[in-house]
A = this chain, B = another copy of it.
Amino acid sequence: MHATHNSRPHVVVLGAGFGGLTFCQKFAHPAARVTVVDRQNHHLFQPLLYQVATAGLSAPEIAQPIRSILRNKPNVTVLLRQATGFDLARREVRLGEDVLSYDYLVLALGSVTGYFDHPEWEACAPGLKSLDDALRIRRRVLLAFERAENTADAAARAQLMTLVVVGGGPTGVELAGAFAELTRRVLKRDFRQIDPRQAHVILLEAMPRLLRQFPERLSTRAAAQLARLGVEVWTNVRVETIGDGFVQLADGRRIESANILWTAGVTANPLTRQLGVELDRAGRVIVHPDLSVPGHPEVFAIGDLALVRDRRGQPVPGVSPAAMQMARHVARLIEDALTHENASPGARPAFDYFNRGAMATLGRSAAVAQIGRLEFSGWPAWAAWLLVHLIFLIGFRNRAAVLLQWTYSYFTYKLGSRIITGLEGPPELATTAAGGREACPMEKKAM
């Protein structure tokens, strides 16, 4: 690696999500240089990923090349690479066969979809973490409706027109609400043999209520708003198994569905296992209050990857505002350490999480929000959600394009991103759809 032989202090940042990117933007020390490593060339505005999956936005509208965002930071080098291991004692990160030496290391690798002890469910119930995930879900669902239009078999058609979202957290309710709008409003006049309004959108939650991060009153309101949009909300249901085109529940019920989506679990990036330090059950690094990794005061973990507690002893949630606050904290700590080289790591201030609130959108004019002690739902919460998300979208163009598209969608319901790409070769839909139960294998073929 030609960038490592240099006497300037070197800070290596792994991951350019909200945490890693904020660190690169905020860290400012004249002597140090920063290398940020990500396996994608873009930063992703994760909170809007569900809109790409449900054909409301196009992929570039919620992503921005990391190089463009950091082009005015001459001390930052961007590497499109994947970290594959660590040697914390030698202060090295492995990138395949290459090695990157650091003086300070910031771990901001985020989390991945977690299936608890059922990794085999992933093929039939994809999660939503990357742009490729979102494009795959979009393709799968849009193709299912094409197949339903092409089949005369009533059971196969019902299976193709049933969408199941597993997990009633913010991503789950947003996906379910958006799919209800897609089928009820957007697609309603597009087909001749089927009526997309008769599609079933089922949201499964194991706990007694949705959105348990929110006050109970808002959970109730969210469920009512989702029901009005056409979502069937099933709480207190446990998934026993997920297979090729079906979900089997613990209470004996079985749902036949060609479109099963998983939002019921996340787990820290599996690279944390290569660190050789203590992790919690979700794979997160159990960090010191200053966010450093025990035994390694020059290594920090931020964002979803870190388990740290707020003043009330509660774990800081894996949300983007927390990741950005942690990034600023670590940027200041490293700046201080570089300026005062003899300072003791023990004297560092602890990270203090400031919870600004939480919001989740359910559909057109439907949302819930909690900001401090204020609780909103319906239109005011939706307006607040819109405002906050537009303000935080990085880059002028995206913000304007997203606003334009949302305004247009709001007034017309004609979502513009219903394009299926990646159909290399003939899809030959009806032939495979006739089999009915082959949802996953046939999907893999079509992708």
Contacts and interface: CB of A to CB of B under 8 A. Distances in A.
B68 A427 contact: no
A73 to B, nearest CB: 10
A79 interface: yes
Contacts of A208: none
Given A82-B428, A96-B426, A146-B80, A400 B404 contact: yes
B193 A428 contact: no
Contacts of A72: 189
Contacts of A430: 81, 95-96, 98
B426 A190 contact: no
A97 B431 contact: yes
Interface string A46-76: 0000000000001111011101100110100
Contacts of A379: none
Given A80-B429, A132-B423, A68 B418 contact: yes
Nearest to A417: B60
A65 B190 contact: yes
A192 B423 contact: no
Interface in A386-439: 395-398, 400-401, 404-405, 408, 414, 416-424, 426-431
A369 to B, nearest CB: 28
A89 interface: no
Contacts of A149: 79-80
A416 B3 CA distance: 28
Contacts of A420: 40-42
A38 B191 CA distance: 15
A416 B431 contact: no
> Max chain B CB contacts within 10 Å: which of A82, A142, A428?
A428
B401 A397 contact: no
B82 A427 contact: yes
B58 A423 contact: no
A415 B341 CA distance: 42
Contact of A416 (B77, B192, B397, B426): B397
A421 B431 CA distance: 29
A416 to B, nearest CB: 4
A31 interface: no
A132 B41 contact: no
A135 interface: yes
A39 interface: yes
Contact of A58 (B42, B61, B65): B61
Contact of A405 (B67, B68, B397): B397
A180 interface: no
Contact of A408 (B3, B98, B152, B396): B396
A105 interface: no
Contacts of A68: 190, 414, 418
Nearest to A63: B419
Nearest to A135: B421
Contact of A427 (B39, B189, B191): B39
Interface of A: 2-3, 39-42, 58-61, 63-65, 67-68, 71-72, 74, 77-82, 84, 95-98, 131-132, 135, 142-143, 146, 149-150, 152, 187, 189-193, 395-398, 400-401, 404-405, 408, 414, 416-424, 426-431
11 contacts: A41-B146, A41-B423, A59-B59, A60-B417, A68-B418, A74-B192, A79-B150, A131-B419, A397-B414, A398-B416, A400-B404
Name the 7 nearest CB pairs between A and B, nearest first.
A82-B426, A67-B190, A58-B60, A80-B146, A60-B417, A397-B416, A65-B418
